[in-house]
Chains A and B, each alone.
Chain A
Amino acid sequence: MASTRASRFRPLLVLALFLAAWWLAPVAVHSFSRASFSLFEAPVGLAYSKLKDLQDYWSLRDHGLNDLIEAGRDATRQANAATLQVQQDAALRDDNDRLAALLQMPPEPGFRYVFARVIRRDETAWWQEIVIRQGRSAGLEAGQGVVFSGGVVGRIVRVDEFSAVVELASSPAFRVDANIGIDPTPVIFQGLTTAPFSPPRGEVRNVPPSLTTGDKLRVVTSNLGGVFPSGLPVGEVSRLILGDDGLFQTGSVNLDPRLADLHEVAVLVPNTSALASALPALPPTKSSAVQP
């Protein structure tokens, strides 16, 4: 009778013991299991992304020749406008560099862009992430900023060999130093969980009371954190409320609605690491080659 009862509880005991052993196992075991399974899953994600690209390609092939001619004409116009803009930007950058040199300001960190297709979007109530089709092999590292044509996308949180996970700006875990327009006072931007069927939102804190929503207030990145260059758009302040201390305001920020439906992004890789990876390995010097 007792042995029957014991055998009934044996399966429960086996599972409970395994569970206890798992949580008592060293962190290395956990990390190894995650890395191993990620390696197995990566090709599936990449294949799914490539299939989506192929699907887009075949749907585009259905367009007629006239559509193609119109698209080409529009693209040429946009390219011409962009060329003019680049020339203006170059002139402004030169001007900016000259003024910075006059004021003896430290140089801003430069970035290069690594463009990446979005493999998968995972935007639940608990986390807001996207998986992109570039990884460690392209020089990506955790903590690097990610942008798109509308401004800030988020920050890389995990990197595999050929893919990376980006935490979106609408995630409550995303915080970044920012500025409001040209006001130099640093503020803090933090993502907020997106309400159902609504565009993504965020929150801005430590806003000086001199600013009001009567002016069109844009939240832009600050270069204080070193993750983003200064001046990239984050969102637009829709409402400001004076805090309990009466010193600072807290505001609601509307993010770009395209943030929830991204297909391609660019990762900001700091130029220092880009330079290091671009440099060829130096040959050993005579002194280092000499054996003791």
Chain B
Amino acid sequence: MSAPRKMLETLGIHLLLVAAVCLTIFPLAWMAMASVMPAGEASAYPMSWLPSTLSLEHYRALFSRLEVVRYIMNSALIAGAVTLISLVVNSMAGYAFAKLSFPGRERVFRGLVATLVVPGQVTMLPLFMLLKYLGLINSYWGVIVPGMASVFGIFLFRQYALSIPDSLLDAARIDGAGEWRIYRSIVLPLCKPILLTLAVFTFMGTWNDFMWPLVVLTDSRLHTLPVALANLSGEHVQDTELMMAGALLTVLPVIVLYALLQRYYIEGIMVGSIKG
């Protein structure tokens, strides 16, 4: 390829990518801008792209009048609990499916993987009745309990645990280590990267989840941030700037988490997709 043509091609590629990034970022950038505009400025004609003055009144209103701290705590508590519990449960099962042979192992595992095609909505109605019967509707546990184990998590952990050499585990057994000890002091430390991947996935997925918390949490004091935001957007349709501030507070934690741990997040998607 001749040098000028190569330059032209490089320029073209980067122009396209920059244009795509601008279109992608624009809604989020506009959300951030509008959230610090004085009330009414985002819904004025002609529209202004930048805030005339930096106004934090909407954030103040959210924190003082609209109890956003409560919703942040609810979301953090639920997402944190689901992440911690499912990490333990899924890693134990994933390790056993990879490394501990027991009768029926392959059949059970294949049965579990087959359930991945069932959409969540199918089980939602009877699950609601079951939790109602157990007295868990309208409580944090109602949201946490169905997320405590996941086939996807077990699958991901198993794929990773398969690469642990058997000789390592056998050596520990000969030294007299029990199975639980092996799992705790050999398997878990070796699988740290996939544990981080799973943690990011689960936390973000639970934080962003909408339909199930919407169904289970009827008391508004227990609402998660997305459910509260959806309610708020019904009551405050006209308060554009306030809604943008609320939306920003909702997405900020996941964006920060993604920025910090994106290597593990992207890794998870790649591992999940390569199984084909």
Chain B associates with chain A: no
